[in-house]
């Protein structure tokens, strides 16, 4: 059965070549829970995992936003590909020659074509810049500078570091020679348009070039560091169809495997910090590239790691940025620690001055919990040698400690505070409890429900975390379809008895697809069947049905009960309408009409009792 699109045998071959756990695991950190695996949904924002993968059925389903389907659908949704593109991608990975080329008359969307061309332009630019750095006289000063900063050829190769020469049109000429559309390259941030509109020039000149990749390893932007006193010192590519600063983390493509393995990520501010830390043995480092940490960054981090160490610069700006990052990361569900650097040093300077071992031992491994950092952060604002200032700081510290959710942690930090300032433990705890009671009172008054973190999907619409079972006919339809997905005989029986008489439109559509699927000679296989649908809503519905456990208690009598319940609903609706019509007839004095309707109601009630 081809379903008018990708043939069933093609879908089946692609799905058999891939384990959904491995496919989903590239994007979502999954943990084993019984017979399924669980993780944070990549399709909507959440702190508590509601996204499940069932290896036995090769299906994924999110109880939060309803997304669901097989491995092909997952790749389609997570990478923004069509179903056919996702199938071709997975087929290519498995080295399958399946002949599933795009159909004639259905051209690839223009945006996809432009993205592909722009990616090609960036790849060419990356090769050019690295060649100039390593193999030309123009690149020699930059190469010597990098080596003076402790970066050897292996590091340069690993991170693809290059050099953009001081000339105006080195890259522009190469792009034009290779047939790239210069206007598109300008739109994508690789080159700039001349002010007089007469052509294009290179965007980056006389700068050391740091390639920026997306998490898949595709080069999507550059960061250029000036060689002299030119401002700005660092210049990033502008936002484009490939590059979004609020969502991109530098070095995520290289660090990702180790981050997933260790469930820990180290967050730096810049490229050089990441690179020097990598050489020091910290291979879980990423950077926000000079831009402030965003909720989108934090969500990307949380999907990969449970723990985050913030290792920003030691100066005032770095300390402020670290402090501001804490709530963003914690709101995303991360456990946060902060690495404290002495003085105004940044990680690069610390490693250069003290060596790799001390950096790992005294900075990364010595990172303090977020509450400890907050206490240190506020401490600088008070003159603790003065009693009034000391009391103000203690009050501020108790407010911070009062917000800690667990009693054991609160007790630990209260004892530290008591020991340092020679306070009475009982009075400190009394003050803390008063703060907590006042906070709870304020929250009750405000009823602050503005941001229910796990109750909003990406489109901003509220979701129902615990849907009700719904009317009896809906329950019966879902149960029946769940059985039909795995039992060909039941599907045939339902087709003879019920055909398209499902009351929910989506249920009727899914039943029709099932009838056709089995009519084509296919064997029961929910994963393959879902692939033949190639419709996001129906795939999500079908994937949710596979999670219904109806292995016990399903027999012929139960099937017949479900069918009766489904057939009964239209009659109940008709009965309700006729009762309303009786009331209207009586109001206007139409007795004969009321009697006729009453007779019809009695007849319907008899049919319902006998059905």
Per-residue pLDDT tens over the stretch 248-293:
999 999 999 899 888 899 999 999 999 999 999 999 999 998 788 9
Predicted confidence at residue 4, as pLDDT, reads 44
Asked if residues 60 and 51 have their Cβ atoms less than 8 Å apart, the reply is yes
Higher pLDDT, 4 or 438: 438
3-state secondary structure 447-514: CCCCCCCCCECCCCCECCCCCCCCCHHHHHHHHHHHHHHHCHHHHHHHHHHCCCCCCCHHHHHHHHHH
Predicted confidence at residue 1, as pLDDT, reads 42
Which DSSP state fits 191?
Answer: E
Strand partners, 212: 221
* pLDDT, tens digit (0-9, with 9 covering 90-100), for 427-478: 999 999 999 998 888 877 655 444 443 444 444 333 333 444 458 888 888 8
Decide if pLDDT at 599 tops 50. Answer: yes
Short-list 41, 59, 99, 102, CA closest to 453: 41
At 39, is the secondary structure helix, strand, or coil?
A: strand
Measured between alpha carbons, how far is 154 from 149 in angstroms, rounded to an integer? Answer: 14
Q: Which of 335-344, 468-477, 496-505 has the highest mean pLDDT?
A: 335-344
Is pTM beyond 0.75? Reply is no
Higher pLDDT, 8 or 52: 52
Decide if pLDDT at 106 tops 70. Answer: no
Asked if residues 305 and 334 have their Cβ atoms less than 8 Å apart, the reply is yes
Strand partners, 31: 38
* pLDDT, tens digit (0-9, with 9 covering 90-100), for 557-588: 888 888 888 888 877 777 778 788 778 877 88
* pLDDT, tens digit (0-9, with 9 covering 90-100), for 7-47: 788 888 899 999 999 999 888 888 888 888 999 988 887 77
Decide if pLDDT at 541 tops 50. Answer: yes
Helices (H), 221-270: 252-262
Please report which helix (H) or strand (E) contains residue 544, including its range: helix 536-546
Instruction: Tell me the CB-side half-sphere exposure of residue 217, using CA atoms within 13 A.
Output: 7
Query: 147: which 2 tokens?
Result: 């080596």
Strand partners, 337: 309, 369
Radius of gyration of the chain (CA): 32
Asked if residues 231 and 267 have their Cβ atoms less than 8 Å apart, the reply is no
* pLDDT, tens digit (0-9, with 9 covering 90-100), for 352-397: 999 999 999 999 999 999 999 999 999 988 999 898 999 999 999 9
Predicted confidence at residue 84, as pLDDT, reads 84
Asked if residues 250 and 194 have their Cβ atoms less than 8 Å apart, the reply is no
State the chain's mean pLDDT as an integer: 86
Q: Which of 46-60, 491-505, 553-567 has the lowest mean pLDDT?
A: 553-567
Q: Report the share of the chain in percent with pLDDT over 90.
A: 47
* pLDDT, tens digit (0-9, with 9 covering 90-100), for 201-223: 999 999 999 999 998 899 999 99
Q: What is the mean pLDDT of residues 542-551?
A: 79
- CA distances, 292 to each of 242, 331, 351, 514, 555 (Å): 19, 16, 24, 50, 60
Q: What is the mean pLDDT of residues 414-427?
A: 93
């Amino acid at each position: 059965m081809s379903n008018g699109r990708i043939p069933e045998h093609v879908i089946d071959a692609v799905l058999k070549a891939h384990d959904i756990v491995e496919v989903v695991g590239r994007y979502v950190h999954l943990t084993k829970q019984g017979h399924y695996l669980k993780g944070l949904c990549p399709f909507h924002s959440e702190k508590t995992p509601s996204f499940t993968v069932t290896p036995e059925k090769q299906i994924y389903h999110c109880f939060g936003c309803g997304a669901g389907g097989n491995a092909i659908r997952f790749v389609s949704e997570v990478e923004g590909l069509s179903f056919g593109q996702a199938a071709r991608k997975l087929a290519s990975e498995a080295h399958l020659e399946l002949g599933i080329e795009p159909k004639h008359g259905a051209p690839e969307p223009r945006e996809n074509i432009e993205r592909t061309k722009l990616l090609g332009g960036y790849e060419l630019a990356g090769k050019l810049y690295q060649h100039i750095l390593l193999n030309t006289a123009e690149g020699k000063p930059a190469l010597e500078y990098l080596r003076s900063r402790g970066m050897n050829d292996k590091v340069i190769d690993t991170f693809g570091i290059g050099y953009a020469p001081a000339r105006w049109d080195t890259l522009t000429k190469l792009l034009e020679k290779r047939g790239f559309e210069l206007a598109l390259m300008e739109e994508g941030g690789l080159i700039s348009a001349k002010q007089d509109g007469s052509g294009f020039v290179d965007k980056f000149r006389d700068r050391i070039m740091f390639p920026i990749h997306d998490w898949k390893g595709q080069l999507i932007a550059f960061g250029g560091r000036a060689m002299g006193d030119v401002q700005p010192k660092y210049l990033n590519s502008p936002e484009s169809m490939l590059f979004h600063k609020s969502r991109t983390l530098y070095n995520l493509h290289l660090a990702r495997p180790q981050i997933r393995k260790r469930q820990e990520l180290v967050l730096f501010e810049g490229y050089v910090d990441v690179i020097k830390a990598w050489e020091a043995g910290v291979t879980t480092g990423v950077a926000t590239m000079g831009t402030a940490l965003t909720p989108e960054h934090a969500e990307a981090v949380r999907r990969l790691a449970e723990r985050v160490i913030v290792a920003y610069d030691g100066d005032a700006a770095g300390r402020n940025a670290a402090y501001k990052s804490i709530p963003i990361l914690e709101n995303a569900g991360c456990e946060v620690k902060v690495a404290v650097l002495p003085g105004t040093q940044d990680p690069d300077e610390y490693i250069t001055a003290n060596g790799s071992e001390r950096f790992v031992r005294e900075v990364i491994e010595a990172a303090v919990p977020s509450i400890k950092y907050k206490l240190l952060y506020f401490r600088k604002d008070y003159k603790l040698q003065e009693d009034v200032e000391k009391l103000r700081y203690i009050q501020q510290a108790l407010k911070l400690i009062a917000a800690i959710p667990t009693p054991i942690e609160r007790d630990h930090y209260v004892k530290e505070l008591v020991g340092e300032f020679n306070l009475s433990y009982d009075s400190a705890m009394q003050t803390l409890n008063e703060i907590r009671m006042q906070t709870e009172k304020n929250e009750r008054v405000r009823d602050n429900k503005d941001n229910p973190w796990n109750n909003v999907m990406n489109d901003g619409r509220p979701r129902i975390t615990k849907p009700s079972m719904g009317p009896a006919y809906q329950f019966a339809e879902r149960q029946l379809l769940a059985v039909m997905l795995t039992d060909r005989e039941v599907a045939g029986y339902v087709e003879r008895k019920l055909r398209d008489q499902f009351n929910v439109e989506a249920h009727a559509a899914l039943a029709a697809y099932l009838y056709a699927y089995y009519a084509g000679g296919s064997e029961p296989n929910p994963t393959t069947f879902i692939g033949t649908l190639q419709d996001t809503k129906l795939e999500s519905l079908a994937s949710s049905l596979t999670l219904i456990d109806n292995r016990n208690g399903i027999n012929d009598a139960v099937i017949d009960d479900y069918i009766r319940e489904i057939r009964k609903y239209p009659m109940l609706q008709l009965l309700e309408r006729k009762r309303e019509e009786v009331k209207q007839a009586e109001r206007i004095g139409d007795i004969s009409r009321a009697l006729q309707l009453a007779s019809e109601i009695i007849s319907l009630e008899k049919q319902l009792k006998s059905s």
